[in-house]
Structure 1
Amino acid sequence: MENKTLKNLMEAFAGESQANRKYLAYSKKAEAEGNTNAAKLFKAAADAETIHALKHFEVAGQIGSTADNLKDGIEGETYEFEEMYPGFLETAEAEGNKAAVRTFTYAMEAEKVHAKLYKEALENIDQKEEVFYYLCPICGNIEKAMPEKCNICGVDGSKFIKY
């Protein structure tokens, strides 16, 4: 028998996750237009949606051990760069949508890096030495040292965000 509540929890997780990102985009747009109050409201709502999504995911029993979560990350990122984005790219190229080609290419290349970093983290799961990561705010590439420039999109390394 199908567990409808689990299905509903996962559907709610997906919806809340998408709402989070949508509201963050709206917040950036409102901020760029000088609408500070709307920007703050969208940001607060985005954070609220994250709270909802994380609780739904937890209640659905989808959070495993760190090793299991790293394996899941590897699997998800690998699927994206091996299967999902190549098809998306092919369609965008056929339709002549250069902006979509660029965003799909950036994401596909970044997902390769993410999978590699997850594998590395899994192989070194007992390492206690702190590692820092640097995120490209344009394409989503992650590096373990601040680069001079992003090797995916070319943005100046000084723009990377340190974690």
Structure 2
Amino acid sequence: MENSKTFKNLMDAFAGESQANRKYEAYAKKAEAEGKKNAAKLFKVAADAETLHALKEYELAGKVKSTLENLEDGIDGETYEYKTMYPEFIKEAEEEGNKRAVQAFTFAMKAEEVHAALYKDAIENIDQEEEVFYYLCPVCGNIEKVVPEKCHICNVPGSKFIKY
């Protein structure tokens, strides 16, 4: 199937729908900041609709595998991002003097390394029955298994972390 036009179309649709989801979430956040509640609500529901489309297309493309395979894929993706993608992005942003992009890419790169390690840990503990909680830094995307005093990547107070 991976050589078919339908597969390519499913993957292109997945990419487009995924990007639309995030774009609409950003628009919703801006509308909320401007006090435009109805527009914010519309952007949020549209973002969720785009997510439904993306998830179905990814599934139909045969990309959702076993949990173990999905964790391994997560490791591969996160490792590529922190070892290859973000270092190049940081270098280019530095060359262009874009300090805000350098900071955003650096935060993301460091967080992606943590994500890869957490996926590895999940594989090692795949049959653990005790529930694990995760805590997300809302600024840099760092994930911890316990609430830290402050984020080791961006220094946000641990009280700001979101529990999952």
1:128 CA displacement: 0.6
After TM superposition, list the pairs within 5 Å mapping 1:13-162 onto structure 2.
13-162=14-163
Equivalent position SS for 1:38: helix
2-structure distance, mates of 1:89, 1:35: 35
Q: CA deviation at 1:61?
A: 0.7
* AA of the residue aligned to 2:97: G
| CA distance in structure 2 between the partners assigned to 1:66 and 1:6 by the alignment | 22
Moved over 4 A (4+): none
| Distance in 1 between residues matched to 2:107 and 2:126, nearest whole Å | 28
Q: Distance in 2 between matches of 1:80 and 1:91?
A: 15
Cα deviations across residues 93-116 of structure 1 (Å, max 9, x unaligned)?
010000100000000000000000
List per-residue Cα deviations over 1:51-87 (Å, max 9, x = no partner): 0000000111100000000000000000000000000
1:8 is the counterpart of 2:21: no
Deviation at 1:127, TM superposition (A): 0.6
In structure 2, C-alpha distance between the alignment counterparts of 1:15 and 1:128, rounded to whole Å: 37
What is the CA RMSD across the aligned residues, in angstroms? 0.8
Normalising by structure 1, what TM-score?
A: 0.99
Size of the alignment, in residue pairs? 163
Taking structure 2 as the reference length, the TM-score comes to: 0.98
**Percent of residue pairs identical:** 73
Letter in 2 for 1:68: E
**CA positional deviation for 1:4:** 0.4
List alignment gaps of at least 5 residues for structure 1.
none
User: Unpaired runs of 5+ in structure 2?
Assistant: none
